[in-house]
Amino acid sequence: MAAPSISVSKQRPRTQWIGKLIRQLLFYVLLILLWQGLTALHIWKDYLFPGPLDVWTSLKGFIQDGSLLIAITVSLRRLLMGYIISLVLGLILGLLIGSNRYVEETLGSLVLGLQALPSVCWIPIALLWFGLHEQAMIFVVVMGALFSITLGVDAGIKNTPPVYIKAARNMGSRGLALSLQVILPAALPSILTGLKQGWTFAWRSLMAAELIYITVSLGGLLEGGRDLGDISQVFAIMIVLVIIGVIIDATIFAPLERTVRKRWGLSH
């Protein structure tokens, strides 16, 4: 009698996933139809608000000549390099700030202030320090994501239940072993939130930098559309950015969140 219940429990997540996918597809189809309907009403001029067919024509041109693939590759390479650096630095800084009161009172206050600084403010510094080179782009990405990741790690450490730490110390856990085996696993929910927010800020920082320093990239194509007055190109690249963001969230962050929720017994 146990086998049917196990089969049903395995099928339920699959059914929920299919239902979610159908609802999302239906939503976007209706959204495109609404977009086309608004375009047909000619409420706005075509050069201000293009229709989905015009945007698709522009996007198809970039796909066929290969420029879109090159732009995506260049932008993602910069993004990944900057994000990995900010991830390593953010984990180290977050551990230091969250575990030491003196570091929190000094360096922690500085990180909190820098986190509120718009990432576009780092672009002039990056250009002066590194010139018109890849290092400038990566630097802006690092500074855009670093402080969100740091504060996420810091918050996770501070929210670790003291009973976990006391129990680990009573069993002889100290120093690095305590941090890696007890504190970091307990802080995972907050750390994951910081990582996701850091990724978002990294994207924004990169686009801001690429809009100013024009190269073959997604930001460069976006700025190229503005220079040419081609609103269809601008819309097309914006849609590409949205699609990339959705794919990254669905393939990386969403599975991580489900794993963490399941680990802490928060999944339904």
The H or E element that residue 17 is part of is helix 2-40
Which single residue is written with the structure tokens 């002889």?
Answer: 172
pLDDT in 10s for each residue of the chain, 268 residues: 444 554 545 566 677 778 878 888 899 999 999 988 888 888 888 788 898 999 999 999 999 999 999 999 999 999 999 999 999 999 999 988 888 888 888 888 899 888 888 888 898 999 899 888 889 899 999 999 999 999 999 988 888 877 877 787 777 777 777 777 777 777 888 888 889 999 999 999 998 888 877 778 898 899 888 888 899 999 999 999 999 998 998 888 888 888 887 776 656 5
Residue 1, pLDDT score? 47
Angle at 188 between CA 187 and CA 192, to 5 degrees: 125
Which single residue is written with the structure tokens 């796909």?
Answer: 63
Give dist(CA 179, CA 98) in Å, integer: 11
Question: Cα dist. 151→84, 146, 237 in Å?
Answer: 16, 9, 31
Residue 11, pLDDT score? 60
Which of left, alpha, beta for 173 (phi over 0: left; psi -120 to 50: alpha)?
beta
**Which of 256, 239, 251, 255 is CA-nearest to residue 72?**
239
**Contact indicator for 158, 98 with CB cutoff of 8 Å:** yes
Kindly give, in sequence order, each residue whose CB lies less than 8 Å from that of residue 120, ignoring residues fewer than 6 positions away. Answer: 205, 208
Residue 89, pLDDT score? 95
Instruction: Supply the pTM of this predicted model.
Output: 0.83
Taken in order of first residue, the domains within the chain and their CATH numbers are 66-214 (1.10.3720.10)
